[in-house]
């Protein structure tokens, strides 16, 4: 997502540089790069933000500072305040998922406001928003830190963006039956002297159960080779003990 039309993340009076950095990291994970800061307590730039961003330097480098929340969202047509419902403020209330679904269909830029760590958004900040965004959360413990709140919203916004899902590591194909038979035979060879297949009447059933156990995982040739190495080590140790 580029800065020309993607949602803006606005941190209102953030207190700690570390939290600004962590919020930047959360943003970039989900393709958001435009951060705006309203009157950061310790000024800007803040040397503590960089290490906490863990490589999300592009977000910090592009961050813009404003004196007031109104100035920070002046160019945005849709402003969402992430907060619990404020007393005396009557506005639509959406979950992050619902708000994220609205954004692509709306003309004009969208901004999401996040309040300071200790107190959250003030009523005057919420008054600038058209919509309140509140995540369903445990009513007995509703404590989210700044970066957690940002990542909740950023993740939902990413669902409507053209982000690639990280590809899973290519899996090796299952080992050919010949290799699996070698593993089964090797294990049976080690178990027989230990009377594992005794009594004789249960030997065939035990062999079938063992075969089923070893066949089920669908091991690839590297895994079979590893197991053969384990068995060979045990076999060598047994010979040395004797």
- Angle at CA of residue 209, ends 205 and 212, nearest 5°: 140
Residue 184 DSSP code = H
110 and 35, same structural domain?
yes
207 and 121, same structural domain?
no
39 and 90, same structural domain?
yes
Tell me how crowded residue 166 is: count the other CB atoms within 10 A of its CB: 6
Which domain-ending residue is among 158, 190, 207? 158
* First-residue to last-residue Cα distance in the chain: 68
Domain assignment of residue 119, given as a range: 8-158
The token duo for 104 is: 């692509």
Which domain-ending residue is among 123, 158, 193? 158
Amino acid 56: pLDDT: 93
Percentage of the chain beyond pLDDT 90 is: 62
Amino acid 235: pLDDT: 84
Domain annotation covers residue 133: yes
42 and 148, same structural domain?
yes
Domain annotation covers residue 49: yes
205 and 128, same structural domain?
no
Domain annotation covers residue 172: no
Domain annotation covers residue 57: yes
213 and 129, same structural domain?
no
pLDDT digits (tens, 9 = 90+) for 73-121: 999 999 999 987 555 667 889 999 999 999 998 889 999 999 998 888 9
46 and 86, same structural domain?
yes
pTM: 0.68
C-alpha to C-alpha distances, 63 to 76, 109, 157, 218, nearest whole angstrom: 16, 17, 19, 50
Which domain-ending residue is among 102, 125, 158? 158
Domain annotation covers residue 128: yes
Domain count, the chain: 2
pLDDT digits (tens, 9 = 90+) for 151-199: 999 999 998 776 666 655 667 788 899 999 999 999 999 998 888 898 8
Burial 46-68 (b: 16+ CB within 10 A, else e): beebbebbeebeebbeebeebee
Domain annotation covers residue 163: no
139 and 33, same structural domain?
yes
Give the residue among 161, 156, 112, 150 at the shortest CA–CA distance from 1.
161
92 and 193, same structural domain?
no
124 and 45, same structural domain?
yes
**Taking all residues of the chain, what is their mean pLDDT, rounded to a whole number?**
88
Residue 138 DSSP code = -
186 and 228, same structural domain?
yes
Amino acid 125: pLDDT: 93
CA–CA separation, 160 and 181 (whole Å): 49
Domain annotation covers residue 3: no
């Amino acid at each position: 997502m580029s800065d020309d039309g993607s949602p803006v993340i606005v941190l209102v009076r953030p207190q700690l540089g570390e939290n600004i950095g962590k919020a930047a990291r959360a943003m970039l994970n989900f393709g958001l790069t435009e951060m705006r800061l309203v009157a950061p307590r310790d000024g800007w730039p803040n040397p503590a933000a960089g290490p906490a961003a863990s490589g999300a330097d592009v977000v910090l480098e592009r961050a813009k500072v404003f004196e007031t929340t109104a100035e920070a969202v002046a160019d945005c047509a849709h402003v969402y305040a992430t907060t619990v419902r404020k007393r005396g403020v009557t506005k639509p209330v959406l979950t992050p998922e619902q708000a994220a679904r609205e954004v692509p269909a709306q003309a004009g830029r969208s901004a999401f406001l996040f309040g300071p760590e200790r107190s959250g958004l003030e009523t005057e900040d919420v008054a600038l928003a058209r919509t309140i965004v509140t995540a369903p959360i445990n009513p007995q413990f509703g404590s989210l830190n700044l970066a957690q709140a940002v990542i909740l919203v950023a993740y939902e916004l990413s669902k409507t963006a053209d982000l690639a899902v990280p590809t899973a590591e290519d899996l090796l194909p299952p080992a050919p039956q010949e290799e699996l038979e070698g593993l089964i035979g090797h294990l049976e060879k080690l178990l027989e002297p230990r009377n594992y297949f005794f009594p004789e009447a249960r030997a065939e059933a035990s062999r079938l159960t063992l075969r089923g156990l070893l066949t089920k995982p669908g091991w690839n040739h590297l895994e079979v080779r590893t197991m053969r190495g384990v068995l060979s080590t045990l076999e060598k140790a047994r010979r040395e003990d004797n």
